[in-house]
Amino acid sequence: MLFQPNMKKVFAARGYHHCKSDDELTRHGDYARNIQYTFSKEFKGPREKVVDIIFLAADVLSEKLIISFYRENISIENGVLQNSDASIPLAKFSIDEFEKQLDKLIPKGNPLRIGGDGGEPF
């Protein structure tokens, strides 16, 4: 089983979870080239909302796990803040390597701006 329970625990420890709204971003492989699963996390401020989405895809043809990170400020139009990805060859997959790639992809800290700017969106 590619998407192991341990991977879900890693995401849960970081505050990410799979919710019903993520189902529209999940492909089960019936008609898609890759099997894909998503996890998300929301940051809410007084005037803005930032959403992190992590896509996990199994590229069966290339035999690798693809991890994509997407951060968007949904309070404004065209609010993409970050979009990046990494991959792990399935032959070299381990939970430690998985966590290392997540550490590289996901920026540290709160993405909401706070301070003297009056809470203006990005």
For 68-81, the pLDDT digits (tens) are: 999 999 888 888 88
CB contact at 8 A, 47 and 119 = yes
- The pLDDT score that the predictor gives to residue 28 is 56
Report the candidate in 73, 93, 71, 79 with the shortest Cα–Cα distance to residue 2: 93
- The pLDDT score that the predictor gives to residue 97 is 94
Q: How confident is the model at residue 86 (pLDDT cuts 50, 70, 90)?
A: very high
